[in-house]
Structures are given as C-alpha cells and as structure tokens.
A and B are shown apart, each in its own frame.
Chain A
Amino acid sequence: MDTFSFHDYKADYNMRINTWYISSLLVSIVVSIPILTVFSSFFEDTSNYFEILKSTFLYEYIINSFILLFGVLIFTLIIGVGCAYIVSFYNFPGVKFFKWALILSFAVPAYIYAYSLTAFFENFGTLYSIIKSILGPGEYNKLIPKFDGMLGAILSISFSLFGYVYVLTRASFHYQSQNLLELGQNLGFSRSKVFFSIILPSARPAIVAGLALVAMETLSEFGAVSFFGISTLTTGIYDSWISFDDLAFANQLSFFLLLFILGLFFIEHISRRKAQYHSPSRGGVKQKKKLNLKGSKSIFAFSVCFLVFFISFLFPVLQMFYWTIIFPKNLLDLNILQLLINTIYLVFLSSAVLIIFSFIANYGNRVTRSKFLNFLTMFSITGYAIPGVILAVAFITFVAWFDNNIIKYYELSSIKKIFIGSIIGLVIIYFIRFYSLAYNGLKSGYERINRSIDESSYLLGYSKIKTFLGIHVPYLRNSIFLIGILISIEIIKELPITLILRPFNFETFATTAYIYASQDLLEAAAVPSLFLILIASTFILITSRYILKD
C-alpha cells in the first residue's frame, strides 16, 4: 500500500497501474476458475457408474428445473407486481407499514419456508392440531391440502423471492410520470386499462430484471428442492458428487445449468439498461397523486397486502416459533452461542475481504479510468450469477486437479487441506458469489463523491493514500456499513456453499437447520431457523431504506 506515497509522478503512475492491475487480475482469475473448470470438465469422461441411467437423469433434471422455473416466475410476477402496484398507487390504512413489511420475506430462505409448509400441512401436522383443538377428534387429514413435491417447492421459492420483483417494480412505478397517467385518464381509459396499457408496459424492463434475478436464484436453489426430493440440475450436481462420487458428471450438469443462467444474465443486463432508459429524469417527475381508497376497496387492498405479508413472513415465523415451544428440548440442546460466533466470524472475515478488494477496484477504476481494468471488474462481478453448488463443486474439482497435477509434480505438500473444508476456501467462494454486491454498493457510494473533491485534495498537497484514507473512507462509511449488512444477510442464509465447503464440525444456523431437516428431525430445525430469520429480519429492517430507495 505504500505505493501511494511515491511523489515522483512517473514512478507513482507505474506502481499504481501495477497495484490496480494485479489486484483486479487476481480477482478475475479467482472468479474465472469455477467457470473454466466447468467448461473444461464438460469433455472429460464420466465414471461408468450408472452410465446407462445418466441420460434419463439429465432429461429429468432439465424438465424439473424448467417446471420449477416456470411456476416460480408466474407466482412471483403476480405477487410482486400486484403488491408493488397496490402500495405505489393507492392510499389505505397500513400502506406505509406494508411498503417495508413486504421485504421481510427476504429473511426467510426457501428451505426454511419448505420446512414450515410441510410442518403445517402434513398428515397430523400443525393445521390438523388446530382443527382438532377446535372441533374435537376427527378424520381431518384427508381434508387438508398437501403442499409438497413440486408445488411445495414452487410456493416456497416464490414466497422467498417475490421481493426482487416487488422492489424493482415498485421503484419503477415510483418514477412513472403523473402526466402519462393523466393522459390516460383524459382519454377515458378505465383504471384497469391505464394499468395494462400504460403502467405495466413502461415498468416492463424493471419487471423483467426482477424476474431474471428470480430465475437465476430459482435455478440455483438447493435447500428447498432437495428437501422436497425434486431432482433438478442443482440437486443433480450435488447428488452426482456426493452419491456417485462423480465430479465429472457433476460438472457436466453444471455446464448445462450455466448455459441457462448465462441466458438469464444477459436478459437481466439488457433489461436493467432499458429500465434506466425508461425512467424519466428527476426534474420531469410531477409528484404522483395516490388515490385514497375507501370502504370495501380499502379493505381489499389491505387484505391483499396483509395476506402476502402473512404468508411470506409471519406464517413461517409462527410455525417455527410454535415448534420451538412444543419441543423446548431442542432449544436447550442447541449451542446457539457457538453458531452465532461462527456466523459472525464468517461474516466479518468475508465482509472485510470483500470490502477491501472492492475498494481497490473502485479506487483503481476512478484514478486510472482504464478500459481494460473496467472490463476485468465487469467480468469479476459476474460471480453472483453462478449457483453456489456449482461454485463449490467446481472449486473442489479445481483444487483436487491442481494438487494432483501441479503440486505433486513439484513435490510440494498438498494444498487440499488449506482450501477444502477450510475457512479460506469458504471465504474465497463467498467472495466470488458476493463480490458484485460489495463492488456495486461501493461504486454507488463513490459516484456521489465529486471528482473535484479528489483534485482539491491533491492541490492541498494530500497524497493519494491520504485522500483515500482521509476523505474517501470517511465519506463512504455509510456505504461500508450498508454493504457489511447486506453481505451478512446473504451469508446467514447461504446454504450450499457453506454445506459443501465448511470445515469439519463447523456449523452455521443454515447448515444446522438443513442437517436436522435431512436427518428427519424437522422439529429440531425450528430453533436454528427461527434465529436465522430473526437475525436476517433485523438486518433487513436496518437496511430497508436502502433496499426500498426509489
């Protein structure tokens, strides 16, 4: 870092270039490892084990992934856009509350939602108990609908992800011009015609961007689909690695999954650009007048929002809470403090690494304005689109390959222990997955610091490092805090990466809940699930203003 203190311009320039380039190159290489591993493994021979059955499996995985995707997209589209429309265009009791309460669904990962759904609706489950306590003993199981299998997975994933569509659509609705709406009304359009011919088309890019994010997360989802026993590409990757011990087949499945994701990635990218293009400049926006709802319409709007809030958030919290009370032994058996320490440890370490590298990249891009550097950074942030299962399995493949071919050749000691089943490996993969979150968060903070401030600082004789530490860092304190919280929310909920790469006997709330659930101890999964939701909710409330920024 002392490269900043060079005063000779030329030396400073050269060293600076090196620092930015080396750091950005390093990050790009790390991000490219899983991608390259997957693509190179595609042509490798897979083991003969179950060779005959593989084509059947592949077909089933792809079909299931598509059905899941289709179902989730429809649900999240209706719920997300519907809620965004109601809270953006109407006034009714509780509208301010629902505006942020609806994003609490981000605190409930799909797998925990799946546990709640099962616990409540299964034979002799919670709903059965409720009916029995009201009506007395009886044969109620047959009357209770069952939400499991594919339907259960679609519902679980939809209610944990609709927030993406809601948040992006709401932001886009916020900027819709009052003039345009009035124009529609002057033309004699009904409210539904205004909605379908004016509001919806101009919000389309935001909706598509939200749906693309939902789609990427759905295709990456592991916990809920594995709980419901649905064979998708993600569970296929995990199973071929765990059950068949066939990394090559796992990587071939990853290849197909990455192709789909790549398509979605471009859709999202293009839509985001269009979304910017569609939003009118701030100056031109006439403050939209919200329509005050009265009577039954007001009750309807309230009910819709409450229902979504209840189903997406209160329901899983209450179910987990109920189980914690019914089976109190599980609360005492669980070493909550240790789980908390592990989680905090991972969060701090990962946040620190992420924020440091994001700072270097952002500052580098700011002072060099190099196109190549910019390209490397853009490439580095694509890691968020790669499913956690793929990142973890590809990383293991790479380390094993590197160890067997390079390290052994030079007769060095094995590096497997350093990277597999270690905190270092875990942090590296978290880094790839969450780098875009940290980088973009910091970038939006940096964009608010006028470049002239840097120049004034240099004129006053401040060195680059002094400008950086004395001006940028304090200026960006809020951004850093915010990024830290957003990373925390992600890491607390993260399942497949942690599950595959965590050190022996190192558990988080997420892995504990998952392991209990997969060992047929669903009720024991309630306590870690409840803690996970509570911590994540707190963090979401802290950052709600940022998430909902218009």
Chain B
Amino acid sequence: MEEGADCVGDLYITADAGRLGAFQAKGMLQKAGWSKAIKNVVPSQFRSTQWTGIAKRARIIYYSPERVSANELNGMTYEGLADPKWKGRLVIRKSNNIYNQSLVASLVKNNGKNSTANWAKSVVGNMARTPKGNDRAQIMAVAAGEADIAVANTYYHALMLSGKKGAEQQEAAKKVMPFFPNQQDRGTHMNISGAGMLKHAPNKSNAVKLVEFLLTAEAQNHIVNNTFEYPMISGVSANDLVPGKDLSFKQDNKTSVKTYGAKQADALEVMLAAGWK
C-alpha cells in the first residue's frame, strides 16, 4: 500500500467483493476499462468500473439432518437466523471475517441498519459458542454435535467432501446438509472472488486481457474444479461436489455485490454493537 507509484503489480486478485470495495474506497484502484468481452459475460451486479468478479460463491446454511427437521428449515432465511428457536444451536465465525461483513452488509442494504442491528443481537443470542475458527470449523462443529446449524461458504463443504482435507473431514462433511436460504424472496446471498485494476498498474491493457482469459470456458473450468466455486460465465458447470452446482437455486441478483463494500462499516458496527466477537 505504501508502494504507491512504485507498484509492480497490475491486478489485485482476492476473494470477496467487500474486500475489493474497501480497496477501492482507499483509492488503491482505478477505472479498469473492462472490455466488451468482459462486460458481456459478467452480469453488472458482479462488477464495478474498477473490479470484476471471476468466480462466484454462496454463503449458505449447513445443518445436521439428525437434529434439524425439514419442517424447521421450511422457508428459512438469513433473517430467520434471529429466530429464538435456534437458541444455542447456531455457529458462525467472527465479526472481523469479511464474508460475514459482506453478508451483514447485504442485510443492512435490504432491511436497513436498525433492523439489522436488532437481528445481530438476536443472532448473537442464538450462538452455541463464542465465534471461533474458519468456515470449515463451523461445519465441523455441526458434524461434531456442538451446534445444529452453521453459516459457511459453499466451496468449503465441497473441499471437505473432496477428501483433500483428509478422511476425517470427508466423514464430517457427509454428516451435514446444505440449505439455500431466502428462496422465497430475494434469493441466496452471493459473493465473488475477483480482480481489481491497481491504481498504478503499469500494464493495464495486458491486465484486461488476463481477466478476459480468466473468464474463458477453459480457465473457468480449471478454476471451479480447484477452488470449488461457481463459474462466473454461463455454459460452465461447477464441480460435482458443490451444492447446487447447476446454479438452479435462486440467487440474490437484486443486491449488487458493490453494496458489500459500501455498507461494510455499518455491518461491522452493528455486529460489534451486538457483542458479536
């Protein structure tokens, strides 16, 4: 960051639109001049003038089929995580985590700050334990019986199922089931991993070409099978282990991922005010 004009990179490639948005807000990025090829394949809610999504992920609910009935989950939403019926049954990671900040930012955008502040308080009241660990640790907590439902990104569960994290985690992953929230209203919270054009990028046009390449079917196939994310372009399928791999679930296409950066400070504020560690 202190490199300034001496920057040697062109692109800032990272996970989460909230992170890209914050980077943009700091003035570290510039207008990228995305080509037609890019704009045609990346829907407008997944890009800004300075950065664009390369792959997608959903932040969903994982539950224990042994302890959570289909009835309980019927019509489940993110808003529903505040329902007192989940008291002592929910695990989710810390408030400093960017995925949570983006999820809460989308709630601030859709429901307003006051309503989200109340929601956060109830969610904290429902937690089975003080937040700790990464998304996989939340899924494993459900598998181990520490909690009944967890909030985690889709690729983590697939990664565990793949066996790349060892036989025990594969076993754990099989004990939980995915659930896509908000199917009856705006759809499931989507996020991206993406690339932003750095302010002092020395080779801007090559950087655009690289992003164009990352959005070809060939590159997308490679990405989705290694990161277990959803493809950004249509015509490519996610890995078989990823829940909803054909993207047949209803995605929240109404809330632009740009709002995750814009509402990040509000999101963190309501979480901290609620005592979300």
Chain A interfacial positions (CB closer than 8 Å to B): 49-50, 52-53, 56, 122-125, 128-129, 132, 139, 141-142, 148-149, 228-229, 231, 239, 243, 245, 326-327, 396, 399-400, 414, 416-417, 420-421, 504, 520, 523
Contacts and interface: CB of A to CB of B under 8 A. Distances in A.
B257 to A, nearest CB: 19
Residue from A123, A149, A243, A414 with most neighbouring chain B CB atoms (10 Å): A123
B132 A53 contact: no
Nearest to B172: A124
Interface in B237-277: 265, 268-269, 272
Given A53-B268, A239-B96, 13 more contacts: A56-B272, A123-B137, A123-B144, A123-B146, A123-B172, A129-B168, A139-B145, A141-B145, A142-B146, A149-B132, A229-B96, A414-B5, A420-B3
Given A245-B1, A416-B4, A520 B134 contact: yes
13 contacts: A49-B265, A122-B133, A123-B137, A124-B169, A128-B168, A141-B143, A148-B132, A229-B96, A243-B22, A414-B6, A417-B3, A504-B8, A523-B165
Contact of A416 (B2, B143, B171): B2
B136 interface: yes
A123 B4 contact: no
Nearest to A49: B265
Interface of B: 1-6, 8-9, 22, 26, 94, 96, 130, 132-137, 140-141, 143-146, 156, 165-166, 168-169, 171-172, 265, 268-269, 272
Contact of A50 (B6, B143, B265): B265
Contact of B94 (A50, A148, A229): A229
Contact of B6 (A229, A243, A417): A417
A489 B265 CA distance: 42
Given A56-B272, A128-B168, A504-B8, A400 B132 contact: no
B146 A50 contact: no
B172 A400 contact: no
B262 to A, nearest CB: 14
A184 B265 CA distance: 66
A245 B169 CA distance: 37
A52 B273 CA distance: 11
Given A52-B269, A123-B137, A523-B166, A416 B3 contact: yes
Nearest to A521: B165
A124 B133 CA distance: 14
A123 B143 contact: yes
Contacts of A416: 2-4, 6
A122 B132 contact: no
Contacts of A123: 137, 140-141, 143-144, 146, 172
Contacts of B94: 229
Residue from A53, A122, A416 with most neighbouring chain B CB atoms (10 Å): A122
Nearest to B140: A123
Contact of B133 (A128, A148, A245): A148
Given A52-B269, A123-B172, A417-B6, A326 B166 contact: yes
B26 A245 contact: yes
Given A148-B133, A520-B134, A124 B3 contact: no
Contacts of A141: 140, 143-146
Contacts of A229: 94, 96, 132
A124 B22 CA distance: 35
A505 to B, nearest CB: 10
Contacts of A327: 166
A141 B137 CA distance: 12
A231 B132 CA distance: 12
Nearest 3 pairs of A and B residues by beta carbon = A141-B144, A124-B168, A123-B140
A187 B76 CA distance: 77
Contacts of B144: 123-124, 139, 141-142
Contacts of A148: 132-133
B3 A421 contact: yes
Contacts of B134: 520
Contacts of B2: 396, 399-400, 416, 420
Contacts of A523: 165-166
Contacts of A239: 96
Contacts of B169: 124
Given A50-B265, A245-B1, A520-B136, A124 B143 contact: yes
A53 B269 contact: yes
A139 B136 CA distance: 18
Nearest to A137: B171
A53 B96 contact: no
A124 B96 CA distance: 25
B137 A122 contact: yes
B130 A149 contact: yes
Given A50-B268, A417-B6, A421-B3, A122 B26 contact: no
A412 B96 CA distance: 41
A130 B6 CA distance: 52
Nearest to B141: A123
Contacts of A414: 4-6
A129 B171 CA distance: 11
B127 to A, nearest CB: 14
Nearest to A413: B6
A296 B135 CA distance: 48
Contacts of A326: 166
A90 B6 CA distance: 62
Contacts of B143: 123-124, 141
Contacts of B146: 123, 141-142
Given A124-B140, A128-B168, A504-B8, A142 B3 contact: no
Contacts of B4: 414, 416
Nearest to A416: B6
Nearest to A128: B168
Nearest to A326: B166
